[in-house]
Structure 1
Amino acid sequence: MRSFLSTAVPLVLAAFSATVANAAIVEHWWNITYTTANPDGLKERRVIGVNGTWPPPVVEVTINDTLRIHTHNGLDEPTALHAHGMFQNGTGWMDGPSMVTQCPIPAGGDLTYEFNITQTGSYWIHGHYMGQYMDGLRTPFILHNSPEAYDYDEDIVVPLYDWYHDQSADNLDVFLNQYNPTGAEPVPQSGVIMDSADASFNFVPGKTYRLRLINMSGFSMFYVSIDGHDLDVIEIDGVDTVRKTQKSVYVTAAQRVSVLVTAKNSTDTNYYFRADMDTDMFDVLPEDLEYNIAAPVYYDQSHSNFSSSDDLGMASEFDDLLMNTLVPAAAVEPDHQVNLTIDFQVTTDGINRGMFNEVPYLAPKTPSLNTMLFQGNHSLEKSVYGPQSQAIILNHLDMVEIVLNNLDAGAHPFHLHGHVFQLVARGDGVFDGDRSKVDWVLDNPLQRDTVQVPAESYTIIRFRADNPGAWFFHCHIEWHLESGLAAVMIEAPDVAQQRLTLPQAFQDMCEAGGYSTTGNGAGKDGLDLSGAPNGIYLIYDGFTAKGKGAMAACIIAALIGIGTIIWYAIADPEKKAREIREAKGQ
């Protein structure tokens, strides 16, 4: 069993089975624009679409193709696109998160995203700027293998997501507000299957279907099942897995799961595909929220005979920790450990924010990738990226272990850009460093790019730092990302400077938007970080120097007052009486 290389293992089957001769250039021209839509059938609202239509087109490619998306920003605000789950080896500037790997595309601006397809599986493309994907800027991204690891008759893409009737900017204003001290997230108005309130499936007896379940939510997790049918899991987050039969699976925000479903031989009964929201995530449960959504699975539409429900909902027994990759890879002992404690607290700006290690992420004035490539030896120092850019410096080819201790009462899906990681442990409470108490999964652990960390528990992941660049690591609940629950893995900056050359188009994009192109986190050269985004921290639990001085002054004044009272009390009472009589002329 060979050592784990995060950006190589999932590609082994694809690399040997695909042929370069079949490679193609797949081009899309996207004018990102506002339009209107009503996917839940309850309210039409303004959305962000492509070329004046919504939903954006599904993007499909095959291993070894080259994808080009010629992007024009037709909005009245900046935007950026992220191909979720792509490693972007050698093309880190194409990754998309604003102020991490690129400056956002300004209103009216143009940018072409282009990269080679070296992976296979189920992914999605979404906006990575200020919650825009919750306004509709998201679409499935399917990377076909040739041949696929498993046989099936038909491939069906099944996007799932929560839906809000208000604009994301308005919801963010309510969420990131001093009048929301508990940090209660906006609750969606509905859930949507396949972009429509009228979604349905048509099964032909005896056929086997691959359902690509893609959770494109900004907040919600779904539990998925089909009445009367088994689900055979064969892929998770773009990584082929050992086939395993389940009655239901969960898919949290940004995760993908492919299942094979074999149709029954009879047409006398129809069934329901069920997607149940995880209501534990919601602070309130509105009476009008339909959180258990369903779509009919028709064998014969001429009758309305449906089976009874056997939906497990949130009682699902699915556990991704028990899944294994199809190409075995044992876990390797880590060279470097990163400890990240997850918490939500009110910060010095009066807002309840998410944070790693008591510090919320604030975007720098220069994209972190640009700082890495243009700041020479300073790029090896975390301070150059900005005081609240949450930069974590990683050495080239180190095996990195991340310990995620979740102190929050809610679960969180964490996504690592540029890699898949091994899921090696999960447990209740806080990991205190005692490795003997951990139930490790080391033989052939699951590899994925987004992991759910349950409430008040810990999760441990590992990946090989074999992809020089700047890679965002963040909670994929969009409300939490915007509140600061993020960090940036600054991976092998010395190697990146030797191998990577930032295209001129990305430098021009920064200049067009008024951003720094080559500076540090403050937009300057060197280690002068004055003016960098800073100053939003956990409220100090104790006395500052000024507070201590004020307290000392209060204590001294109190002691003087008490001393005066005591002095008067013990003074000669006869003498005092004479003084009083004399004062009155007696």
Structure 2
Amino acid sequence: MKTRRVLTAITMAVIAFFFSATPLPVAASVVEHTFVVSQMNVTRLCKETLVTVVNGQLPGPVIDVTEGDSVVVHVVNKSPSNITIHWHGVKQWLNCWADGVPMITQYPIQPNHNFTYQLNITGQEGTLWWHAHVPGLRATLHGAFIIRPRHGASSYPFPKPHKEIPIIIGDWWQMDLALLEKHFKKEIVDDLPVAATINGKIGDLYNCSGAVEDGYVLDVEPGKTYLLRIINAVLFSEYYLKVAGHKFTVVAADANYVNPYTTDVIAVAPGETVDALMVADAPQGRYYMVALPNQAPLPDPQIPVFITRGMVRYKYDNHGEEEGDPSNDVPMVPEMPDQHDTTTSFHFHGNLTSLHRPQRTKVPVQVDEQMFITLGLGSFCPHGRSCEKRWRGNSMGAATMNNVSFQLSTDMAVPLLDAQYYHCNSTSSSGDGIKLYTLPDNPPRPFDFTNPALTPDGSEAALLQRTIRATAVRRFRYGTVVDMVFQSTSLLQTDSNPMHLHGHDMFVLAQGRGNYNASRDVASYNLVDPPMKNTVLVPRIGWVAIRFVADNPGVWFMHCHYEFHLMMGMAAVFIIEDGPTVDSILPPPPLNHPKCGSHVNSLKANELYLLDNKVVSPA
């Protein structure tokens, strides 16, 4: 009963805190960091592994700023890999140049080179994160990005916590992750992590020659409230997080406040963040904090389930008022969902609604464009192979949006943003130009998208898998209101898909199981207080409907945050055109940004162009 009373008080206190007097704002500052990217050997599970890190830390440094601040990050690349850093969820208003996607918004930072990112933190509060945007390396190149309210913690729309703790769920690989994409392109598909981590610690479920691995420990004081800033940084798993004997009050997701609700389990997919209050109201002792991945059941391919756990440990009074030694306590273990339970995730995400605040963005009523995008696996016929008899016979796998698999030309000479801004004549050092293929509004043909018979690799799905490989883009006029339905499919697998849109937040209007049906499902749209997210989990064999306003000029990446899906091409580029006023036009790049074509000796006069907005049958 004590837990229920405390959590109810937290929920009810939101209104009281929101309407309380706020202190004077703090002057904006310039927050400066230097990120030295290098490799170092780390020993885990009795094996020394070469990992790429920032400033010798895993996770990397926390960027802690106040809304309105400017952030300057000097990246010094002392690793052998090309690097970019993406500021996940930071909207980058009129600052697409700093978004950090290689050959989309910038040249990669080459080994022994430096690059400085300049970010303006405007109109956002909450938990975001930063990570490398090169294949595989974000597993160790990542850290929290915390934006605090301009008026201080007393202006939180919930009781001020005693402490704020980043909780980063990661995975541990016993390989040089720079090789991950190379192996993948050679169709070596057995690379997998060997453990999971909380704040870089593997935890005592794993042992090395009989000695258990260190785990993350959170020391708490009885009666105090803790704000857990939870981040999923793994490459390919949604995770459930529980603390035995405790409940959470969810207060924010993806740096947007939500109506508080109480739960004993957090569901967080790769790319997502969740802010949750936890009250230390259990009897003094030790309680396991457990992170468990979920996955689709058979006949989907199964991967090992790597559970990790840390510890919530109550501080004991040093003056003898409490008896006993905490090391002698038997820690309480939470009861976790089944690894194939995706319903818990469906309900968790369905419970999110936006907290009403005066500055909250309202849902646009008028919609300008509508898109229906199927997400699934497909196949293509590589050059030099014969695939006539059966599409799957000698084909290679791809991940697709409306049967288009994203691929950047390896011969590109300038990033797409530069080509768009400067109207470069060519983006290819060969002079052939890279053709941009317009992402279609709909899949090439309708079918029963979630039919389980399509999951096994059978002939029934062969024609539905045919894939176009292209640099898929979609152009929007400034201010366009876009409705988009993401439909997961059962083609070869039934995974969920965490879809991340750079530079924008999305209103999550509705989600559902099975196939989307507009005549039925539009009526269920939440147009009053839908959550706003930068990463939207499209449920397994289900759909999600989102709405966003294309009001941030630039070239923005939209992609699945499962690393293998991204490497296989589940991505597209959204080009947002300039608006009619000075404050709706993308400014020139910073002085340190290489000018268009400066990385190549010459460019031939081939036009950069778009293909017709229709699906072309693959050759």
What is the rounded CA distance, in whole Å, between the counterparts of 1:34 and 1:93 in structure 2?
A: 27
What is the rounded CA distance, in whole Å, between the counterparts of 1:45 and 1:429 in structure 2?
A: 43
- The equivalent residue for 1:149 is 157
State the Cα distance separating 1:249 from its structure 2 match.
1.4
1:320 paired with 2:338, answer no
State the Cα distance separating 1:170 from its structure 2 match.
3.0
* 1:347–1:538 Cα contact (<8 Å) kept: no
Decide whether aligned partners of structure 1 residues 233 and 539 sit closer, same or farther in structure 2, where only a CA change above 3 A counts: same
State the Cα distance separating 1:193 from its structure 2 match.
0.5
- The equivalent residue for 1:503 is 590
1:97 paired with 2:101, answer yes
- The equivalent residue for 2:477 is 395
Aligned with residue 257 of structure 2, among 217, 227, 240: 240
Q: Please tell me the residue identity of whatever aligns with 1:36.
A: N
State the Cα distance separating 1:82 from its structure 2 match.
0.5
Q: TM-score by structure 2 length?
A: 0.75
Matched residue of 2:598: which SS? Answer: helix
Q: Please tell me the residue identity of whatever aligns with 1:336.
A: E
- The equivalent residue for 2:294 is 278
1:345 paired with 2:363, answer no
State the Cα distance separating 1:68 from its structure 2 match.
0.8
- The equivalent residue for 1:564 is none
State the Cα distance separating 1:164 from its structure 2 match.
1.6
- The equivalent residue for 1:188 is 193
- The equivalent residue for 2:389 is none
Q: Please tell me the residue identity of whatever aligns with 1:332.
A: V
Q: Deviations over 1:253-297 (max 9, x none)?
A: 010001101112632x321111111143882344xx5x2221121
Is there any run of 5+ residues in structure 1 with no aligned partner, and where? 1-12, 531-536, 545-586
Decide whether aligned partners of structure 1 residues 280 and 415 sit closer, same or farther in structure 2, where only a CA change above 3 A counts: same
State the Cα distance separating 1:352 from its structure 2 match.
0.4
State the Cα distance separating 1:55 from its structure 2 match.
3.8
State the Cα distance separating 1:430 from its structure 2 match.
2.9
1:446 paired with 2:450, answer no
State the Cα distance separating 1:462 from its structure 2 match.
0.7
- The equivalent residue for 1:165 is 174
Aligned with residue 263 of structure 1, among 277, 280, 289: 280
Decide whether aligned partners of structure 1 residues 394 and 304 sit closer, same or farther in structure 2, where only a CA change above 3 A counts: same
What is the rounded CA distance, in whole Å, between the counterparts of 2:380 and 2:616 in structure 1?
A: 5
* 2:426–2:606 Cα contact (<8 Å) kept: no
Matched residue of 2:52: which SS? Answer: strand
Q: Please tell me the residue identity of whatever aligns with 1:37.
A: V
1:293 paired with 2:297, answer no
* 1:331–1:443 Cα contact (<8 Å) kept: no
Matched residue of 1:173: which SS? Answer: helix
Q: Please tell me the residue identity of whatever aligns with 1:375.
A: H
What is the rounded CA distance, in whole Å, between the counterparts of 1:110 and 1:525 in structure 2?
A: 31
State the Cα distance separating 1:528 from its structure 2 match.
6.5
What is the rounded CA distance, in whole Å, between the counterparts of 1:385 and 1:239 in structure 2?
A: 37
Matched residue of 1:434: which SS? Answer: helix
What is the rounded CA distance, in whole Å, between the counterparts of 1:192 and 1:307 in structure 2?
A: 19
State the Cα distance separating 1:319 from its structure 2 match.
2.2
Q: Deviations over 1:312-352 (max 9, x none)?
A: 35553642222111136345342111222212122122320
Decide whether aligned partners of structure 1 residues 41 and 22 sit closer, same or farther in structure 2, where only a CA change above 3 A counts: farther
State the Cα distance separating 1:419 from its structure 2 match.
0.9
* 2:242–2:334 Cα contact (<8 Å) kept: no
Decide whether aligned partners of structure 1 residues 177 and 458 sit closer, same or farther in structure 2, where only a CA change above 3 A counts: farther
What is the rounded CA distance, in whole Å, between the counterparts of 2:502 and 2:110 in structure 1?
A: 23
Q: Please tell me the residue identity of whatever aligns with 1:444.
A: D
- The equivalent residue for 2:321 is none
Q: Please tell me the residue identity of whatever aligns with 2:488.
A: N
1:406 paired with 2:488, answer yes
Decide whether aligned partners of structure 1 residues 252 and 304 sit closer, same or farther in structure 2, where only a CA change above 3 A counts: same
* 1:371–1:385 Cα contact (<8 Å) kept: no
1:86 paired with 2:90, answer yes
1:477 paired with 2:562, answer yes
* 2:425–2:606 Cα contact (<8 Å) kept: no
What is the rounded CA distance, in whole Å, between the counterparts of 1:19 and 1:37 in structure 2?
A: 46
Matched residue of 1:77: which SS? Answer: coil
Matched residue of 1:113: which SS? Answer: strand
Matches within 5 A, 1:190-209: 190-197=195-202, 198-209=215-226
Query: What's the % identity of the aligned pairs?
Result: 26
What is the rounded CA distance, in whole Å, between the counterparts of 2:333 and 2:572 in structure 1?
A: 46
Q: Please tell me the residue identity of whatever aligns with 1:251.
A: V
Is there any run of 5+ residues in structure 2 with no aligned partner, and where? 1-17, 203-214, 317-325, 383-394, 428-432, 438-469
Q: Please tell me the residue identity of whatever aligns with 1:294.
A: R
Alpha-carbon RMSD: 3.1
- The equivalent residue for 1:133 is 138
1:307 paired with 2:332, answer yes
* 1:87–1:419 Cα contact (<8 Å) kept: yes
Number of aligned residue pairs: 503
Q: Please tell me the residue identity of whatever aligns with 2:147.
A: L
Matched residue of 2:593: which SS? Answer: helix
State the Cα distance separating 1:138 from its structure 2 match.
0.9
What is the rounded CA distance, in whole Å, between the counterparts of 1:19 and 1:390 in structure 2?
A: 47
State the Cα distance separating 1:77 from its structure 2 match.
2.6
Structure number, greater radius of gyration = 1
Matched residue of 1:96: which SS? Answer: coil
State the Cα distance separating 1:501 from its structure 2 match.
0.9
Q: Deviations over 1:457-482 (max 9, x none)?
A: 22111111111111100001111111
Q: Please tell me the residue identity of whatever aligns with 2:417.
A: L
What is the rounded CA distance, in whole Å, between the counterparts of 2:569 and 2:232 in structure 1?
A: 22
Matched residue of 1:415: which SS? Answer: strand
